[in-house]
Amino acid sequence: MKDDLLELKRLILDERFTNLKSFVNKEINLMSILGVAHKELQHSNFLSWLFHPKETHGKEDYFIKEFIKLYFRENQYDDLGGLTGLSVFDFVRLNLDDLDIKREHKNIDLLLTSPTNKLIIVIENKIFARERKGQLKKYRTFVEDNYQDYKYRIYIYLSLLEQEITKSEQEFYVCITYEHIIKLLENSLESDLSENVRFVLSQYIQTLKVIMNDNSEIEKLAKELYDEYKSSFDLVYKYISPSTVSGRLIGRVPNNIEQYIKEDTRIVPSLTDKKYKRFTPVGLINLKPKLVAKGIIPESYDFYKECLFWFEFIVTSDRIDFAFLIGKYVNKESRNILYNQYVQDKDTFNVIKDRLSPVWNRCATHKVVTKANYLRYLENEDFDIQAIIKKEYEYVIGVMIPKIMKNIEGLLSEEKSLN
């Protein structure tokens, strides 16, 4: 106990710890002061103000168009929405000056309509809540029944952090997180804005980053301190409850998955960020000549960033999942061929649907850390969550990946070709 107290004293006087406290003090913002940073209604009100062409920001339809543009750029220019979605070619012809936005109409958080363009966008907005049973289908049914003459019917599920929605609605709803909103706003700060609008946007960006724990400088400093003073932090956590916001635990499940991927000779790291830890099996890379010969991918295909074969661990606030997907890809025929191959093996591809989704199609998933695991970890200092992660990681790489690879190899052994 004496050693623990000595280390705690060292931590308190460490200049880095003082700097960390100063960073936290800087993270005060207007929404936090007003106590509304975690209320969905206020966030929906802000988005309504932002997207409405006739609001006081004076930017007309600039923000809603930038929102749609950003989607296209980040999704390989694929259509926004499903069968009744919007293509880039259709989008560039739109004038959204007549856009009308209703709040809480038929319980829909945001309902955007442009009668001239026959465009309707439903946005279901979630900060810490999750989808309620049947609500997404209810909203979609309302639109299908009342806006049949609208050519473009788009459904968006917007959440603070990544959420998985009801399987039956996945082919209709586009899932977007507030990371998308932050990027939109940060890009907008480069445009011609009044000082008042610039201040409002900056404050809102700060609000989102605080509640998403998205500050890389703080994260780096905090990790350094934790690595050096682990026993002191553990001592503090032993005597206090975990930090919460409005009763919800914030942060991401602690993990070493990115390090596992870097050190694992069976796989190669792919495009990764804080939430998505991606990789490509070495065996798949070795199959590239055959995939090219088959006409499924071109010689220029880049496994690091292209998405036809997409392997990822998804690290969220309270769980970790593995997913294998048919991703966004310019060659639709290649996506169809892979889907038709995978759908025949529903033991390996345990979540594949009876219809290929137009953008992202989940084929196989596995729970690495469940919410129950994470809550147990928070409540019990002796619960070894890292052992669970390591065990489930090994199951994914050692058991699931070979099964997926065997299926792909079976496709390549057939006579059928795209050429």
- List the pLDDT tens digit at each of the 419 positions of the chain: 556 567 666 766 777 666 655 555 455 455 554 455 557 788 888 999 999 999 989 899 999 999 998 888 877 788 888 777 889 999 999 999 999 999 989 999 999 999 999 999 999 999 878 888 899 999 999 999 999 999 999 999 999 878 888 888 988 898 888 988 999 999 999 888 888 888 889 888 888 877 776 555 555 666 676 677 666 666 554 444 444 433 334 457 888 999 999 999 999 999 988 889 999 999 999 999 999 999 999 999 999 989 999 999 999 878 999 999 999 898 999 999 999 999 999 999 999 988 898 888 999 999 999 988 888 887 776 789 999 999 999 999 999 999 999 999 999 875 544 44
CA angle 389–373–40, rounded 5-degree value:
110
pLDDT value for 218: 57
**What single-letter DSSP state applies at residue 370?**
-
* Exposure class string for 162-182: b at 16+ Cβ within 10 A, else e: bbbbeeebbebbbbbbbbebb
Give strand pairing partners of 121. Answer: 112, 154
For residue 65, CA distances in Å to 41, 68, 100 come to 23, 5, 14
For residue 116, CA distances in Å to 51, 152, 220 come to 17, 11, 49
For residue 224, CA distances in Å to 11, 281, 296, 317 come to 12, 32, 45, 21
Estimate to the nearest angstrom the gap between the alpha carbon of 156 and the chain centroid: 13
Within a 13 Å sphere around the CA of 405, how many CA atoms are in the beta-carbon half? 18
Question: How many residues in the chain?
Answer: 419
For residue 382, CA distances in Å to 53, 274, 299, 378 come to 54, 26, 50, 10
**What single-letter DSSP state applies at residue 132?**
P
The pair of structure tokens assigned to 401 is 């990946």
Residues 221-263 pLDDT 10s:
666 766 776 666 665 544 444 444 333 344 578 889 999 999 9
Strands 310-315 and 320-326: antiparallel
Backbone angles phi and psi of 113, in degrees to 5: -130, 140
The pair of structure tokens assigned to 214 is 């998205």
- Among all chains, which residue has been given the structure tokens 């796989």? 267
Strands 244-245 and 173-177: unpaired
pLDDT value for 217: 59
Residues 294-315 pLDDT 10s:
999 999 999 998 999 999 999 9
* Exposure class string for 257-269: b at 16+ Cβ within 10 A, else e: bbebbeebeebbe
pLDDT value for 51: 94
List, in sequence order, every beta strand (DSSP E) within 342-409. 361-369
Give strand pairing partners of 366. Answer: 322
CA angle 69–73–74, rounded 5-degree value:
115
Estimate to the nearest angstrom the gap between the alpha carbon of 162 and the chain centroid: 4
Give strand pairing partners of 326. Answer: 361
Q: Amino acid identity of 162? A: E
Backbone angles phi and psi of 294, in degrees to 5: -75, -15
Closest-CA residue to 316 (of 164, 195, 210, 208): 164
Q: Are 281 and 266 in contact (CB under 8 A)?
A: yes
Does pTM top 0.85 for this prediction? no
What is the DSSP code string of 210-239? HHTT--HHHHHHHHHHHHHSHHHHHHHHHH
Strands 108-114 and 100-105: antiparallel
Question: Which helix (H) or strand (E) is 375 found in, with range?
Answer: helix 371-379
Q: Are 281 and 269 in contact (CB under 8 A)?
A: no
pLDDT value for 171: 84
Q: Amino acid identity of 337? A: I
The pair of structure tokens assigned to 201 is 């946007």
Residue 102 and residue 94: Cα distance in Å, rounded? Answer: 20
Q: Are 252 and 275 in contact (CB under 8 A)?
A: yes
Residue 41 and residue 211: Cα distance in Å, rounded? Answer: 16
The pair of structure tokens assigned to 360 is 């992202």
Question: Which helix (H) or strand (E) is 324 found in, with range?
Answer: strand 320-326
Could you count the other beta carbons within 10 Å of the beta carbon of residue 183?
A: 15
Closest-CA residue to 312 (of 272, 342, 253): 272
